[in-house]
Amino acid sequence: MIGRLWLLACGQVRVRVTGASLTRFLNLCAAQGITLRQMDRTAWNELHATLSIRDFRTLRRHMGRTGCRVHILRKRGLPFLAARLRPRTALWGGAVFAAALCWLLGTHVWAIQTEIAPAIDETAVMQQLSEMGVRIGMPIKKLNTRQIRWKMMQLQPNITFFSLNLRGNSLTVVAYGSTDPPEVLDEHAITKVVAARDGVVTQVRALEGQPMVRAGDAVQTGDPLISGLVEPTREGGKYRTAHAHGTVQAYTTHTVQAARPLTEQSKRYTGKIRHQYALVMGNKRLNFYIGSGIAGGTCDKIVTTRHFWLSDSVVLPVALVTQTYTFYEREPTTRTVEDVRVDMLSRALGETAADIDGMVTSHSETLTEQNGAAVLHLTVHAEEQIGTEAVDDSTIPEEKTEMEQVP
């Protein structure tokens, strides 16, 4: 098998030898070290054989001594293929370009996509990745995902999960996190439950600690509801401290005031739309327009980027950027109080309900016009949980001695 491949690489010819002195021809081949393969004698004065290009050149120099004639029937091998392709420069150039393109596509990152939570600054994350060398066009072998992940978690403490997922030559940056978590008190600390807002208590459920209020009591913000100092349950007993926790339901009242101008500037689209195109190749950008964009006029701008994919995981290092400008004119629009009533009321109710740890029981509102604006006064009644934990700094009462008890 290896010998046949070697012959194909070096080149071989299939020949027809004719003449009355075939024996002299064979003797000459043996004397000159010419190897004949796949010999087939088709007549008393004719035979077919296969030999290498090197042996054929040697044979051609001595054919006059044999009295025979040689005709080439077939040529096979790499040298003959190269000879046919040599005049086709464009084909060779295309093959070299295709090989180089395949190498670039398979060994470099040509697309970076993001899946970053809204609570995380995406611009800061991408800037820090760029400083670490993570950018379009970087060699894949230089992508140390473990080290980059460790550095990013150090630079962005609010990130709780970070990963770089490489699929083909496309890199996806995944980052999840949250805003600053609420302060959590130590479960062994002495705490109390206090009122987060004013209200009238409807129910107290003390899971741990001493209840300080009962249903029907009116409380103000900061009043203790459940104490971490528990009174003794029997005469002569001692006070004990606890990590108080529980829930306290109360009727609460929320007041909201909002204003909105009745005359506003609104957009009226003129129907004029313009498109600008640019070609991005790696980190280079080629604009097909003059200047930096649309100058003058009022318009909405939408930028779309289209990548060209060979497959689900292989992207070409070329992207088409389209900038779409939709022009409009600003014109004043005047509305009445009734026109804005529903929108203002729904917004105010939604924002207030989001701040309530319970349910809205009723609401009332007044909407008036003052100085060219609609003014909303909203009162929301709710039943909600108002208890929140805080550190209890109460001190245990000192026990009276016998001498202090005797008058």
**Phi/psi class of residue 8: alpha, beta or left (left: φ > 0; alpha: ψ in -120 to 50)?**
alpha
Average the pLDDT over 268-273 and give the result.
90
Angle among Cα 19, 21, 23 to the nearest 5 degrees reads: 125
Query: How much is the pLDDT for 236?
Result: 65
Question: Encoding tokens for residue 380?
Answer: 């929301």
Q: Are 52 and 11 in contact (CB under 8 A)?
A: yes
Q: Are 246 and 226 in contact (CB under 8 A)?
A: yes
Residues 115 and 158 in one domain: yes
39: pLDDT strictly greater than 80? yes
Among candidate residues 177, 202, 227, the one where a domain is terminated: 177
Residues 172 and 202 in one domain: no
Query: How much is the pLDDT for 360?
Result: 93
Q: Which residue has the tokens 């439950």?
A: 193
Query: How much is the pLDDT for 373?
Result: 92
Q: Which residue has the tokens 């080149």?
A: 11
Query: How much is the pLDDT for 88?
Result: 67
Q: Which domain holds residue 228?
A: 193-247
91: pLDDT strictly greater than 80? no
Establish if 99 belongs to a structural domain. no
Please, which pLDDT band fits residue 406 given cuts at 50, 70 and 90? very low
> Per-residue DSSP letters for 143-184?
--HHHHHHHHHHH-TTEEEEEEEEETTEEEEEEEE-SPPPP-
Query: How much is the pLDDT for 399?
Result: 57
Query: How much is the pLDDT for 403?
Result: 42
Establish if 394 belongs to a structural domain. no
Query: How much is the pLDDT for 404?
Result: 46
Establish if 122 belongs to a structural domain. yes
Q: Are 184 and 245 in contact (CB under 8 A)?
A: no
Residues 205 and 154 in one domain: no
Residues 15 and 77 in one domain: yes
Q: Among 42-56, 112-126, 139-153, 177-191, name the one with the lowest average pLDDT.
A: 177-191
382: pLDDT strictly greater than 90? yes
| Pairing label, strands 245-261, 240-241 | unpaired
Provide the number of structural domains found in the chain: 4
Establish if 368 belongs to a structural domain. no
Which one has a higher pLDDT value, 177 or 194?
194
Strands (E), 235-372: 240-241, 245-261, 263-281, 284-287, 299-309, 315-334, 358-370
Average the pLDDT over 218-224 and give the result.
94
Between 122-131 and 145-155, two packed helices, what is the crossing angle to 10 degrees? 130
- The DSSP bridge partners found for residue 172 are 113, 165
CA distance 303 to 321: 7
83: pLDDT strictly greater than 80? no
Establish if 264 belongs to a structural domain. no
Which residues contact residue 258 at a Cβ distance below 8 angstroms, ignoring those fewer than 6 apart?
Answer: 344, 347, 348, 375, 376, 378
CA distance 34 to 162: 70
Residues 238 and 200 in one domain: yes
Among candidate residues 290, 307, 330, the one where a domain is terminated: 330
Residues 18 and 77 in one domain: yes
Question: Encoding tokens for residue 317?
Answer: 């290092």
Residues 199 and 242 in one domain: yes
- The DSSP bridge partners found for residue 226 are 193, 211
103: pLDDT strictly greater than 90? no
Q: Among 56-70, 160-174, 331-345, name the one with the lowest average pLDDT.
A: 56-70
Read off φ and ψ for residue 401, nearest 5 degrees: -80, 165
Residues 9 and 51 in one domain: yes
Give residue-wise pLDDT tens across range 119-169. Answer: 888 899 999 999 999 988 889 888 898 999 999 988 888 888 999 998 888
| Pairing label, strands 170-177, 111-116 | parallel
282: pLDDT strictly greater than 50? yes
In a 3-state reduction of DSSP, which class is residue 405? helix
Report the amino acid identity of residue 316: L
Residues 286 and 312 in one domain: yes
Residue 146, domain CATH: 3.10.20.310
Establish if 24 belongs to a structural domain. yes
Average the pLDDT over 170-182 and give the result.
77
Q: Among 176-180, 284-288, 358-362, name the one with the lowest average pLDDT.
A: 176-180
Query: How much is the pLDDT for 24?
Result: 85
Q: Which of 258, 271, 188 is nearest to 228 (CA)?
A: 188
Q: Which of 130, 230, 232 is nearest to 173 (CA)?
A: 130
Among candidate residues 247, 262, 288, the one where a domain is terminated: 247
Over pLDDT 70: what percentage of the chain? Answer: 88
Residues 8 and 62 in one domain: yes
Establish if 53 belongs to a structural domain. yes
Which one has a higher pLDDT value, 395 or 355?
355
Residues 9 and 66 in one domain: yes
Please, which pLDDT band fits residue 402 given cuts at 50, 70 and 90? very low
Residues 77 and 135 in one domain: no
Residue 43, domain CATH: 3.30.70.260
Establish if 263 belongs to a structural domain. no
pTM listed for this prediction: 0.53
Query: How much is the pLDDT for 401?
Result: 47
